[in-house]
Amino acid sequence: MAQEKSSKETGIQEVLMDAVEVQLAAFKAGIDFWGGWVKVATEFSNETSKRLGKIRSNPSDAKRLLLEITDVSREGLRGLNELPRQAAERFVEEMEKSSRARKAASKPGPRPKPKRPVKAKP
């Protein structure tokens, strides 16, 4: 009975550890996603603001500057489009790290040497 309980507890602990590993991988991927989103959005905002300021100060360059804003917008959208793939890759990498760590921890160590020589009985 005690062995059965111990086995159940070990199983529950393994399931909980797996759940925590998945959760951590998801959080890390999410952090990368939102960090990337903030970076792309900041770059877009800064570049667009500069060009809008130039349009206000020199309306004769508006056509060229609006085309530049379109290019900046296109580049930003490409960057945003890559974020889900990058986040998925990060999630998979984290799960693979966890899997490798789990396998390394479960490998049996080297067999201990006997303390005294073993002799066969005749």
**CA 16 to each of CA 12, 13, 40, 75, 87: distance values in angstroms, whole numbers, following the listed order:** 6, 5, 36, 42, 23
pLDDT tens digits, 63-95: 999 999 999 999 999 999 999 999 999 999 999
What pLDDT, on the 0 to 100 scale, is given for residue 112? Answer: 63
- CA atoms of 108 and 121, how far apart (whole Å): 30
Domain positions in the chain are 30-97
* pTM summary value: 0.72
What pLDDT, on the 0 to 100 scale, is given for residue 7? Answer: 84
Tokens of 65: 């500057």
What pLDDT, on the 0 to 100 scale, is given for residue 121? Answer: 67
What pLDDT, on the 0 to 100 scale, is given for residue 88? Answer: 97
Give the residues of the chain that fall short of pLDDT 70. 1-5, 108-122
What pLDDT, on the 0 to 100 scale, is given for residue 83? Answer: 97
- CA atoms of 81 and 89, how far apart (whole Å): 14
Contact predicate 87/81, CB 8 Å: no
**Cα 21–22–24 angle (5° rounding)?**
65
